Amino acid sequence: MNSNKILPVENERQLSPSEKKGLATYWWKILSIVLLLFTIIAGFLFPVPAQPILHETIRNLYFHVPMWFSMMTILFVSVWHSIKHLSQSNIESDIVASQAAHTGMLVGFLGLITGSLWARYTWGAWWVADTKLNGAAITMLIYLAYFVLRGSIDEEQKRARIAAVYNIFAFVMLIVFLLILPRMNDSLHPGNGGNPGFNKYDLDSTMRVVFYPAVAGWILLTVWIFTLRVRLEKLKRKILFND
Amino acid sequence: MRNKYSLGGILLYVVSTVFVSYLSFKKIVSPSTWNALFWIILLFASINAIAKSFLSETRGKLLYLYTIVSPEAVILSKIIYNSLLLSILSALCLLVYSVFVGSLVQDFPLFLLTLFLGSCGFSSLLTMVSAIASKTSNNFTLMAILSFPIMIPLLMVLIKLSKNAIDGLEHWDLNFLLILVFINTIIVALSYLLFRYLWRD
């Protein structure tokens, strides 16, 4: 700040646009940190409704559920860029699509772990035969297959195109599956199969205060990880082509 | 796959798989086991049958097709051909399976309808996956890896419907039939739209 005053006017003019750009691009990262700090502190300290089986595990709602929201968001980004790749044949879209899928797997894996822990303490087992768990498992399988597919094609343009086709095809089938799933069986999850949803009375106003910021915070963090991965991948390519 | 030997090979594959399951199970009394075993046999048979539709095409023949017709025509004709092939295959599978293992089906029209819609769905999905897998280096392994996860929705609806047919429910569950038709339509539409990107090399 002090140096700005001493420096000549030209330098100040050069600095200010980059600073402005910095704030304009970084605000959501700061917001993400603030929201997540709030989520963690408030999530563990704020009062929660006392429910018979759930007890204090209800706090997992702030961590488990936003993971799936983040995963679907980032997978949607992935498919969107796959479509973009097919229409423009731009290799950058392919990098973005694949890194988004990687990030989606990371959050999905975290969602599985938190869900598994929760299931252990409420339903009594690490894994139960439940439609939503099947859906999660199939999502994992589809995207692992996507990575295997990417790994088995050497030529870059061809890999990008074919992976994009599979990504779109698989994502649509996944959405169809997630739509028909509730018709097939009941679920142990809240809001399905006669179980009361969190909306009804569990997620009362004290929990909403934490839950919505948690969802926003986790989604922002996921997007942040994703942008870092994309930057890293682009830098790797740059090094590869310069050497 | 205008090849007598490969067609015969697939038929023999179905018959011998059914025979092996007959030898290991003898008689099946539980409807759900009967149903599950039938669809698993059919699943593997159809993967084997349809994997050939792109994997065993020579480069020269694909290039020849590329010069004379549009990609949409290729994928649609392959889907139609494979649907017919798979319908015949599944009917044969049902026949052999009923002879050896015994038939538990009470509502035959519904079961046959499910079988037909299932064959169409399997064939269109697998034709597309076969086209994707044919572009890779280890394509037979990849065929299974790529197709299983995205076949599960279709398979679950089929198993549900055929279970209804086995139990002989009084009313047809139109909801599930509509879902099945809907899934088939989506698969064909996606194949139609996306195949052109796989086609050019």
Amino acid making up residue A222 = T
DSSP label of A56 = G
Minimum CA–CA partner of A141 in chain B = B149
In degrees rounded to 5, what are phi and psi of residue B156? -65, -40
Q: Give the start-to-end residue ranges of the domains of chain B.
A: 4-199
Q: For A135, how many CA atoms within 13 A lie in the half-sphere containing its CB? A: 22
Distance from CA of A153 to the nearest CA of B (A): 5
Q: Report how far residue A192's alpha carbon sits from residue A202's, in angstroms, rounded to the nearest whole number.
A: 14
ipTM confidence score: 0.84
Residues B135, A162: C-beta atoms closer than 8 Å: yes
Q: What is the DSSP letter of A139?
A: H
Contact A161, B197 (CB under 8 A): yes
Residue B174 to chain A, least CA–CA distance (Å)? 13
Q: Do A138 and B128 touch (CB under 8 A)?
A: no
Domain ranges of chain A: 66-242
Under 8 Å between Cβ of B115 and A156: no
Give the closest residue to B53 by CA, choosing from B160, B149, B128: B128
The residue with tokens 């399976």 is B97
Candidates B45, B47, B30; CA nearest to B126 is: B47
What are the angstrom distances between the C-alpha of B89 and each of A52, A145, B120, B126, B191?
Answer: 54, 28, 12, 15, 23
pLDDT in tens, A131-161: 778 888 888 888 999 999 988 888 888 889 8
Place of tokens 């994502």: A171
Question: If you measure CA to CA, which chain B residue comes closest to A170?
Answer: B150
Kindly give the confidence (pLDDT) of every residue in chain B, 201 residues in length, as a single tens digit, with 9 standing for 90 and above.
456 777 788 888 888 988 888 888 877 778 888 888 899 999 988 888 888 777 777 778 877 888 888 888 888 988 999 999 899 889 988 898 888 888 888 888 888 998 999 999 999 999 999 888 888 877 778 888 888 888 888 888 888 888 888 887 777 777 788 888 988 999 999 999 888 888 776
Q: Is A169 on the interface with B (CB under 8 A)?
A: yes
A161 interfaces chain B, CB cutoff of 8 Å? yes
**A172 contacts B146? CB cut-off 8 A:** no
A147 at the B interface (CB within 8 A)? no
